[in-house]
Amino acid sequence: MGLIDGDVLTFVADENIHATIVSENKVEYNSKEYSLTKLTQELKGLDHAIQPTGEWRLEDQNLLDLYNETYS
C-alpha cells in the first residue's frame, strides 16, 4: 500500500493514539511491537481479532480506503 518504516498511523477512535510502522508487518506503540491487528484488538478491548485497516489512518487517508485503492 506504499507504507514505509517511520510512517505514523493514527487510531480513528482516539486521535491521541499513534503507532509507528517499524517493518512490513509490525508497528510500535508505547515502545512495544505489535501486529496492527493485535494492537487494534487490544485498544478496542476485544477478545478476538478484527480487520484493522478501517480503524487507522495515515495523515488524512483511512487505511481501508488506501487498501481499496491499492488492491482494487
pLDDT of residue 2: 86
CA-closest candidate to residue 9, choices 46, 34, 36, 31: 36
Q: What is the rounded distance in angstroms from the CA atom of residue 63 to the CA atom of residue 47?
A: 22
pLDDT of residue 14: 97
pLDDT in tens, 9-52: 999 999 999 999 999 899 999 999 999 999 999 999 999 999 99
Going by pLDDT thresholds of 50, 70 and 90, the confidence category of residue 68 is very high
Mean pLDDT of 56-66: 96
Q: What's the full length of the chain, in residues?
A: 72
pLDDT of residue 72: 83
Show Cβ contacts of residue 34 under 8 Å, excluding neighbours closer than 6 positions.
19, 26, 27, 28, 42
Q: What is the rounded distance in angstroms from the CA atom of residue 72 to the CA atom of residue 70?
A: 6
| Domain boundary assignment for the chain | 8-71
Q: What is the rounded distance in angstroms from the CA atom of residue 26 to the CA atom of residue 71?
A: 20
Residue 1 has pLDDT above 90, yes or no: no
